[in-house]
Amino acid sequence: METTLYNQKGKEAGKISIPESVFGVSWNADLVHQVVASMMTSARDPIAHTKTRGEVRGGGKKPWQQKGTGQARHGSTRSPIWVGGGVAHGPRKDKNFDRKINRKMKAKALFTILSKKFRDGEVLFVDGVSFDTPKSKEARETLSNLGSIKGFEALSTKRKNAAYIATDKKDINVEKSFGNFSNIAVEELRNVNPLTMMKYKYLVITNPALSLATLSTKLS
């Protein structure tokens, strides 16, 4: 498969071959839903927490004798049926919500999403994005240049989750330059996952000749 390669100024820089195993996968909604839902569930950090009758303070003494009072028998004032008692079957922050996802399933779901984005014209290949020093002004100019490419106009105007810039290696200058843009994320392509790809509209892959090699090995 071949596609157009652009430079940092938004101009065409030639053609590039991309792996069909990554960008030519047919859509599988069931697989994507299963993987993304499992990742979201595993990422849960429960806050709500109730105490059981064994954790509530007090209630050690029997309220009244077992027989002879004409009242129902009770062994503790911290029973769930008492005001101020423990909670039965309440939410617990120590509950484990983790779901196991097979490595190949996760990789296949990622390639399925990338293929869908590529067919929808939401994947942009750039030969490189670099800055001598961290400069938000230069980052804004880069977004404006890339937004001038046909089909990627919203890249420089979308206010939320506009683009995920995937680099071939860690670049502090690039990360800090885009650090003030809440609608842009910058990370190495090897760390990309299905959940982030579903979150951002555009995917900008820099230096694809090197960065795509790491994606192809995810299924092996």
Quote the domain boundaries for residue 211: 2-44+102-216
The residue ranking higher by pLDDT, 87 or 59, is 87
Contact (Cβ atoms closer than 8 angstroms) between residue 2 and residue 12: no
Judge if 123 and 195 occupy the same domain: yes
The rounded Cα 203 to chain-centroid distance in angstroms is: 14
Same domain, 180 and 132: yes
Percent of the chain with pLDDT over 90: 73
pLDDT attached to residue 209: 85
Contacts of the segment 135-143: beta carbons below 8 A, 24+ positions apart = 135/177, 136/177, 136/178, 136/179, 136/180, 136/181, 138/177, 139/177, 139/178, 139/180, 139/181, 140/181, 142/8, 143/181, 143/184
* pLDDT (0 to 100) of residue 206: 92
36-46 average pLDDT score = 93
Assess whether pLDDT exceeds 80 at residue 216.
Answer: no
Same domain, residue pair 10 and 78? no
- Per-residue confidence band for 1, with pLDDT thresholds at 50, 70 and 90: confident
CB 192 within 8 A of CB 111: no
- Is residue 219 over pLDDT 70? no
What pLDDT does residue 13 have?
Answer: 87
pTM above 0.85, yes or no: no
Whether residues 183 and 110 share a domain: the answer is yes
Q: In what order do the strands lie in the sheet with 202-206?
A: 12-17, 2-6, 123-126, 202-206, 163-167, 184-188
Q: Are residues 191 and 207 in the same domain?
A: yes
Name the more confident of 211 and 78: 78
For the cut 70, the answer to whether the pLDDT of residue 3 exceeds it is yes
- What's the mean pLDDT in 95-123? 93
Taking residues 178-200, what's their average pLDDT?
A: 92
**Residues 35-40: contacts with CB within 8 Å, 24+ apart?**
35/101, 35/105, 35/106, 35/109, 35/194, 36/109, 36/194, 36/195, 36/198, 38/99, 38/100, 38/101, 39/101, 39/193, 39/194, 39/195, 40/195
How many domains does the chain fold into? 2
Do residues 170 and 152 both lie within one domain?
Answer: yes
Structure tokens that stand for 199 in this block: 């979150």
Q: Same domain, yes or no, for 116 and 209?
A: yes
Based on the fold, state whether residues 25 and 112 are members of the same structural domain: yes
